[in-house]
């Protein structure tokens, strides 16, 4: 196995776990600021690989690098009538039993003097801040990564500059190869003396500014002689080129290949464009993130339908949707493919950082779904408590009790079961029919 592929997987997992660790820091810091006792801060799941205790909190790393958590005491309020610090045996009903078991677990670490340090007794807005801290940290990380991409590296753009990947021969469309055979005909570009690095600026007097311009003009001209204007080493030149006719795959207006469609007898020059990176302003970062956020939210809304596609890809061999969900295993494989690919180092860096940025954005948005056990479920509970208290104050009624999210624990366990099934399906699909860079 290519060592770069393995290194890419490891590097992505390290980046992911750093992101997860900082997500939990986003919960940990406000929890400590507001006086909640945090007993554990862990990155990963399963048995503990390493830990250290600092004050009242144990910090550690677990063996399974899939997520993390902090453990706050008193996440759920006691039942009405319970004495402070005392617990009652669980009820017998199946759903009520789940609720009481979780409630008891939430109270079991409450020590004398901790009565005001439990999570459920904090002000509603403090609960929202604590539970919003994790997703907010992911958004901050996504913003940092996207800033590195757009401002530091630049957005990739296909330019009408002859790439080193350009072949000097006409390879038959029925053959899948990149090297020339002795019997292959030379391309019109090679015959005319076009060189790597030449920038195409005009065709028969018509201006070329983008690669789409060049493609449209060359294809639309068809076979025959043309005047190709280029700039080589800063000097403008004009080359006499005789285009040939060829059947080519159809292209959309933005230059993307239309699968299954062929344009007959279009003009052919025989050059491959170069990829350049145009640096953007900081203001462009927010617009870029906003556009991507809308697409991610749309994918989340269509998640059930997307998961059907994953199921079909896993068990029926259907092609994976490049816009569909991907698990940690699949993302790790993509990280390996990026480093092991033949892309330029700059393109590898852009694609890899983009993968981490997109994952942080998706993790942050997914955690805001207002369902337990996600952060959004606790945030929704805090908002509802704030609404109830505001209503009671306006109506001059007694202050209501803390919102008891334990009442929706049956739904929580159902949601957790669905998430586990989805995660398992993604892992299986990522192994048997993974998404690839192609």
- Number of structural domains (the chain) is 1
Half-sphere exposure of 118 (CA within 13 A, CB side): 22
Q: Residue 180 falls within a domain, yes or no? A: yes
Taking the C-alpha atoms of residue 259 and residue 279, their distance in angstroms, rounded to an integer, is: 31
Q: Residue 200 falls within a domain, yes or no? A: yes
Q: Residue 244 falls within a domain, yes or no? A: yes
Residue 244's domain comprises 157-278
Q: Residue 172 falls within a domain, yes or no? A: yes
Whether 28 shows a pLDDT value over 90: the answer reads yes
Confidence bin at 331 (pLDDT 50/70/90): confident
- Kindly report whether the global pTM for this prediction surpasses the value 0.85: no
In this prediction, residue 86 carries a pLDDT of: 47
pLDDT, greater one: 100 or 387: 387
Confidence bin at 251 (pLDDT 50/70/90): confident
Neighbours of 389 (CB within 10 A): 17
CA-angle at 131, arms to 126 and 135, nearest 5°: 135
* Positions marked active-site: 24
Whether 148 shows a pLDDT value over 90: the answer reads yes
Closest CA to 99 of 412, 416, 409: 409
Task: Note the Cα 80 to chain centre separation in Å.
Answer: 43
Confidence bin at 258 (pLDDT 50/70/90): low
In this prediction, residue 107 carries a pLDDT of: 61
Q: Residue 99 falls within a domain, yes or no? A: no
- Secondary structure of residue 108 in the 3-state scheme: coil
Closest CA to 437 of 308, 350, 310: 350
Buried-state track 53-86, b at ≥16 Cβ within 10 A, e below 16: eeeebbbbbbeebbbbbbebbbbbbbeeeeeeee
Closest CA to 41 of 16, 64, 67, 15: 67
The predicted model gives 36-47 an average pLDDT of: 88
Confidence bin at 400 (pLDDT 50/70/90): confident
CATH of the domain at 271: 2.30.42.10
Q: Residue 271 falls within a domain, yes or no? A: yes
- Secondary structure of residue 109 in the 3-state scheme: coil
Q: Residue 189 falls within a domain, yes or no? A: yes
In this prediction, residue 320 carries a pLDDT of: 85
Taking the C-alpha atoms of residue 58 and residue 431, their distance in angstroms, rounded to an integer, is: 35
Q: Residue 327 falls within a domain, yes or no? A: no
CB 53 within 8 A of CB 36: no
């Amino acid at each position: 196995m290519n060592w770069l592929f393995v290194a890419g997987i490891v590097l992505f997992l390290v980046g992911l776990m750093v992101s997860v660790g900082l997500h939990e820091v986003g919960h940990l810091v406000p929890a400590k600021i507001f006086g909640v006792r945090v007993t554990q801060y862990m990155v990963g799941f399963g048995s503990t690989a390493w830990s250290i205790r600092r004050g009242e909190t144990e910090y550690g790393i677990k063996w399974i690098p899939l997520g993390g958590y902090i453990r706050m005491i008193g996440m759920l309020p006691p039942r009405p009538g319970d004495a402070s610090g005392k617990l009652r045996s669980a009820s017998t009903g199946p759903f009520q039993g789940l609720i009481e078991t979780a409630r008891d677990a939430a109270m079991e670490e409450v020590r004398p003097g901790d009565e005001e340090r439990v999570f459920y007794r904090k002000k509603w807005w403090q609960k929202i801040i604590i539970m919003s801290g994790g997703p907010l940290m992911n958004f901050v990380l996504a913003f940092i990564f996207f800033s590195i991409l757009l401002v530091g590296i630049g957005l990739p753009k296909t330019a009408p500059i002859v790439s080193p990947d350009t072949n000097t021969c006409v390879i038959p469309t029925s053959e899948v190869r990149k090297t020339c055979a002795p019997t292959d005909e030379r391309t019109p570009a090679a015959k005319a003396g076009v060189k790597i690095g030449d920038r195409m600026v005009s065709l028969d007097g018509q201006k070329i500014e983008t690669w789409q311009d060049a493609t449209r003009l060359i294809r639309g001209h068809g076979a025959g002689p043309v005047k190709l204007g280029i700039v080589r080493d800063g000097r403008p030149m004009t080359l006499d080129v005789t285009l040939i006719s060829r059947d080519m795959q159809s292209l959309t207006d933005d230059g993307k290949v239309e699968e299954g469609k062929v344009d007959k007898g279009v003009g052919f020059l025989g050059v491959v464009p170069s990829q350049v990176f145009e640096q953007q302003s900081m203001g462009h970062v927010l617009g870029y993130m906003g556009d991507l956020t809308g697409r991610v939210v749309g994918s989340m809304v269509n998640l059930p339908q997307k998961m059907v596609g994953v199921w079909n890809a896993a068990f029926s061999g259907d092609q994976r949707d490049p816009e569909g969900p991907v698990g940690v295993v699949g993302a790790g494989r993509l990280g390996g493919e990026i480093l092991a690919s033949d892309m330029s180092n700059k393109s590898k860096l852009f694609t890899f950082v983009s993968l981490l940025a997109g994952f942080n954005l998706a993790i942050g948005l997914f955690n805001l779904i207002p369902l337990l056990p996600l952060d959004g479920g606790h945030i929704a509970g805090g908002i509802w408590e704030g609404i109830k208290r505001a209503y009671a104050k306006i109506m001059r009624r007694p202050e209501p009790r803390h919102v008891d999210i334990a009442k929706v624990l049956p739904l929580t366990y159902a949601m957790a079961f669905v998430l586990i099934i989805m995660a398992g399906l993604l892992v299986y699909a990522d192994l048997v029919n993974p998404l690839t860079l192609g």
